[in-house]
Structures are given as C-alpha cells and as structure tokens.
Structure 1
Amino acid sequence: MKHILIVDDEPTVRLGLAKLVRQYSPLLSTVAVANGADALNEIQKQRPDIVLTDIHMPRMDGLELCSQVQELHQGLSIAVISGYDDFKYAQKCLTYGVKEYLLKPVTEHELYPVLDKLLLQSAPAPISIYKVEAWLEQVEAAIWSLEFKTLVRLLEDWKQEEMTAGIPVQQLALIITDGLKILVKKLNARGMASFSIHESATPPPQSAAETMHYLESELVSLYNQLFLWRGGNQKNVFEEAKAYMDSHISEELSLEEVAEKMGLAPTYFSYMFKKMTNETFIQYRMRKRIERAKQLLELPHYKVVDVGIEIGYQSYPYFTKIFKKMTGCSPTEYRSMLGIK
C-alpha cells in the first residue's frame, strides 16, 4: 500500500485533500498533519511515498520542511499545494527538489495527473540481494583482517550506492538486523572467537539515520570484539595460529588455510610467522610433529607404525626419514634408547 502525507494548517483543506486521494485510489493510505514539524515526525516513523504540503504554516513552514526533507530523505517525492501564486516561492521549491507546484483550490483534474506522475517516480528500485551479500562478505573480510579503514570505506560505499534507498524504515531496519545476524554467524563459523550484536538491548530504529547509526555502531563493536580478543596486537594472532596448528597436528593443514583462519593474507602470514617464531610454517609443523612422535614413542603400547599415522604421516618410510633427519636416529632406535622393546 502506498502512503500519502498531507501537510496543511487548515483542517478543511486537509480533509478535502484526504478525500480526493481516497477517491483517486482506495489502495492509498493518508496521514494529515497541521505543520512541518509534525510532518517530519511522521516521515521518521514511516517514510511516505508522496508529501503534499502547504507553504505558510505555524511552527515550521513548507519551505523549511522541503529543505529538511531534501537533506535527510533525498528522493522523496514532494508536491506543494499553495494559495500563493508567487514565482519566488515556486523557484525556491524547485531548489529543494519539489516535483510539482499547484495552486489552491485544487481539484481532482489538477491533482490526479500529479499523483499519477509522482507515484510512478516514487516506485523504489528493487533491492539487490546480491549486492547486499557481496557487501557483507567484504565487511566480514575487513573485520577479520582488522582493517578499520576498509570497514569505514565500505560503510561509505553503502551510503553512496544507496542499495536500500526508497524503502520504508521498518524494512531497512529488518534488512540491517538480518544482515548483522548473518555476519555474526559467518564470523562465529570461523571457530576462533565468539561474536555477538546488541540486538536485544537496542530499541527499533525510528528513522533511516538512526538505522544507519545502529549499523555503524554494531560493525565497530564487532571490530572491537575481535581486536580485544587478539589482545590488540599481532603477536597474539600468531600465538593463536600456533595453538590452532598444534591442535590439528595430524591434519595436512596448508599455510593458506591457517592464514585464512587468522584473517591474514597468506604472503603476509608467511613472512610474519617466520619473523615471530624464527621458523617457517613447514619447519614449525614438522618440529611439533616430531615432538609429539617422541611423546608417543615413550608409551610402550603404541606401535611405531601407528605413531607416524597419529602425527599425520601416512607413509611409514617417510615418517622414519623425517624423524631421523630431525633427531639423528630412527623411531625404532629412539625407542630402544629409552629401553622400550
């Protein structure tokens, strides 16, 4: 259903315009208020498809209303219906994005063609789910990589591209809330930290500006959650990387997999890993595997062949070769030195 907001300080004019709109189409709903200030409140509650406003009104006149609407809600269709046939008013209205300027008293013959035109123009472009999903993927990557400048740029991209421009505030709030839930689910699926949003503590947004502020604050909150979890420095990231590798020592983890888990580019992760640990990724994994092999070889009930498999080497000859390279003796010789047959 389309929504028409009527703004006029004369009760008879408000009633007359509302009647004409209902006669034009029963599918149109109308809200009538007496001044620009009340009109702005209504627009914040639910963005109308069309605003029909007078110029001279108490509290806030039509020109000021048009000015604020243009600044806060670009693209909203406005028609002025005034009793003043003055070029300066019409000219001023045009600078505020007013689409039509009608003179009182207005009849259906004058109003209906304007409604035809404005309703066609006010039809919102369909929301691109693909664009929203692609944007969320970029936001996820920016947060996980702790790239704050990229996160700020993505928020600016949302505003500039106006991916959800022209839709009711309630629908915008729903899209953003659902998008944040999806983002949190993606971040939590990485299995390295626990993320959450403050949905239950946040009242439903009442305007597009409040909704965007909610989105910004929640994204910054998610960024800060990860930043604090990582201790605010890169060193903690590599401690987590080593802990993750240790817990998956028997798996054939690639450098690319671990780098992605840490939210870092593989080349940067490789360089920094060696700088922080004095070992390459392969050297560290090999050393930890052999250390684990020694622990298992000290347990008499473990067969030597099973030890190799336990630490990720499916080929026994290859396990023996690596073990001897790292320790100077074979697994069997190592066990013999311990007095285990």
Structure 2
Amino acid sequence: MYTAIIAEDSKPILRNIRALMQSAELPVRIAAAVSNGVEALEYIKAHPVDILLTDIRMPKLDGLALIEQGKRVNPGLKAVLISGYSDFEYTRKALNLQVFDYLLKPVERHQLVEVLERLVGQLDERQGSGKALLEGIVEPHALSTVELGAEFLDGEKLMLLLCRQPFTPEPEAGCWKADTVQSCLAEACAPHSCWVFPVRQSGQLLALVKASALEAHPSIHDWLKRLHVTLQARGIQVSIAAEPQPAENRELIACYEQLDRRMKEQLSVSARLICQAYPAPKGILTDVELEKLTRHFAEMIGQRQKERFMVLLRQQLMTFKNSGLRMAELERFIWSLAEAFRSTGRHQQPEEWQQLEEEVQQLLESGSYEGFGESLLAWAEQSFEWLQLQNKKSGEELFRQLEQYLQQHIYAQISIADVALKFHVSPSYISRIIKRYSQKTFVHYFMQLKIAEARRLIAAKPELKVKELSEVLSFGDQHYFSKVFKEYTGCSPTEYKEGWTGSGPALPPYGGGQQD
C-alpha cells in the first residue's frame, strides 16, 4: 500500500479527486487532503509520502514550488500535476521537475486511473528492487510482507544493528519486535525516516535511517546515546552497533556483514554502544591468554579437581565482569568447559550432548550477570557430580566385562598385561577396577574363579584325576594346583573329592573363597 496526499484549493475538485481515487481499487491510501501548498509541504516533512497530487495554482505555495521543495525532503516523491487547459504550456515546462504526469481539469476517472496505474507499476518495480537490496539479510517472511515506499531507495542511509544486551531481563511481550522498535526509533529520529527489519540471525534487528538524521547532532556518539536512552525508556535493553559512514543502496549487504562481525567481536558483558568512531572496550583477553585459561580449567576437569575448580571459577567470574570481557570470549570459555566435561565423561550419546548444549545456551541467556555466575557455578557442580556417576558406571561396566572375559578364558593362562591389552587400558587401571569391586588383587580374583571351576568339575566328574584338573585349568604343575586349591578351600583336591557326595555341600558362587 502506497501513501498519497492531495493538495487542491478548490474543495469540490478536492472531494471529486478523493472519491475517484477511493473507487479506483488501487493500492493507494489517501493520507491527507489539504487546501494549500504550505500545509502539504509540512505534511511531507513530517510523514513518509509516496505520491503527491497537486494543483498547479494554489495560495501561499504553488504546485511547482511544492514539488521542488517536497523532493528536497523526499527525493523519491512521485508528483502528478493537476492543471486547467489554460495552464497546459506552463504544465509542460514543469515536467523538467521530473513530474510523473499531469491531469487536466475536470479530472476524469479513466484518466486518473490510467495515470495512477502506471505510477503504481513504477513504484512496485522500485519496491521490488528495494527488497532485492535486503535479500540475504532480512528474515525471508518479513521481507516478503514488508512494503517499501519509493523514499527507501533514495539517498544514503545510516545502518544500525541491534541485539538484546546480554544478561538483562527478558523484554516484555512485544517489545523486541521490529514494529515496536521502529516506533521508538521513528520518535527519536523524526522527522527523518527510518526502517527496522528482523534479520535472519535470531535475536537481531536491522535499522536503516536517513543519513540526514545526523545533521541535528554534534557526533554520532551523541546520536546513538539518544537512541539508546529512548529504547531504554520503553524497557528495551539493547546493544547497538553502528556504521558511522552513510551507505549507498549497493553497499547495504557489505555494510551489514561488517557490522555483524563488529557486533560479534566487540559485544561485551557491559558495553552498550559499538561504533568504529570510538575504541572497543578495554580489558579484553588476548587469544593466547584465553587459550591458556581454557586449557587450565579443562585440565582441572580432566583431573576431577572439583574443589579447586569451583574456587578458581568463582574468582574468574568476578575478573570477567570487571574487565569488560567480550561475549565472544565468554562464550568460548563456557563452551570449552562444556566440551571438557563431555570428553572427560566420554559422552557418546547425541541426545546427551544436545542436552548439554541446551544447558549452556540457557546459561548465556540469564537475566543478569550475577544470575549467570550463580547458575554457571551450580551447573559446574552438577557436571562434576555427573562425572562421578559416569565414572562409577563405567567402572562397574568394565568390571562386568572383565569378569565375563575371565570366565570365558578360565581354562587359559592369562596375565594382567594380556587383559590390559585386550581392553586398551593400563594394567594398573585393571588392577584398581578389580580391587575396587572384588576387594582382591587380579591374581587372587582369577585364581578364585579357577578354583570355583575346579570344584564344579570335581562335582560333575569325580573320576577326573588331580593331574588332569591341573592341566585343564592351565596350572601346569599339579602340586602347585593342590597348594592353591587348599588355600582357597581349606582342603586338598583329593580330600575334597573324598568328602564329596551327591547330596554334599553346594558349591559357592564364583567370587567366593579365600579373602585377601
């Protein structure tokens, strides 16, 4: 829908033109109908106008002067002259002012519709090219529904990129919307036009303001401060990245990409205004310092130094706040902690990593830095508890696998080095796991399993000789076998066979027998 204004000192003619336009069923809205050029010019200065229909002869300010001055305010203004037959030659000369067309009085409906249809077609073409300038920047659905007047394409614009200030309360419903922010900026930038769009990147808004808006301010910094105060008064807590040099239409995409990089690089936990015209916040860590810091905390996670980690993390959070740390650095630090917990806990399930990502994202969206710090400490505490649980679970699982493997190779002669090689861990780790869950050394535990199997074989096949039992269980020497058997059962294999009857004592389960 395009906006039109009619300037005509004859009230009957004014009413007639207005009625004809309303009945034409064209995408044109009559925003104002005035009786002289001065009123029309004041309206054009205060409001965006696409189309001006003006009588050539009017009191106070004639139509030609109105067009000339109106185009200074709005270079994209499309003007249609209304003149009598006696003014025809005069009207032809006015076409040098780039008047779109003219209508002779009395204005006929078909003539008015024909001129307006051509004018709307030209505006549609220009609006389409305006949308093309924003493709790849503005969110597609918003771009498809926005209406860009001809004024948008005329003149240079100042570009602002707005994002919600980190660690501020969630804005009230409807505050963080393009139309709400545009209403605030229009108030602060008046009478200069501005446009606000949601961009593809979630949580950001793009604002374009006529370059003439800077003329009333001593510096861009003063102007940005005024915009920021206006938004704050509406409960909108934002950081604003600004390009100090006005951009031509063909430069909009490159200008946005530059602003987006600057926002990501310089947005801090405290900075509100980001502009090339003044320096970035101080106290920023170098890449080397940040890498060293993240590695130090990751090592504490890997070594499960919970108490030391928690003390140092609390201290580091205070340092971050006072140093003006950039959000990019803070996010990098937090994600390094998440990755350290993930890798130390041997996260293998995609859903577990997804849950971890969601938890970290929620931390970064906290409503205050203090709340963020406390939530991060609580999250780290829970992550260490999760590590302990994972470690316990992984130990239990390994012990079950070890027990199963030893049972399957009960007739073989296996050393702790053989088992460590099989499970790709160190012999000392195998020893710790066996000791933790059986209270025995590896040798005693394996011997216990062998003696339990020997007792089972004696019960099942009493005819087996001691030598045969020794050989089948890979003891090699029957005397050594007899000695070990007596240590675990309290009697020799021969005595055990002699005392065994079909109704004799039940065999103890695997894992029973002598304790260390």
Q: Which has the larger radius of gyration?
A: 2
- TM-score norm. by structure 1 comes to 0.47
Considering Cα pairs closer than 8 Å and 6+ residues apart, tell me whether 1 or 2 has the greater RCO. 1
- TM-score norm. by structure 2 comes to 0.33
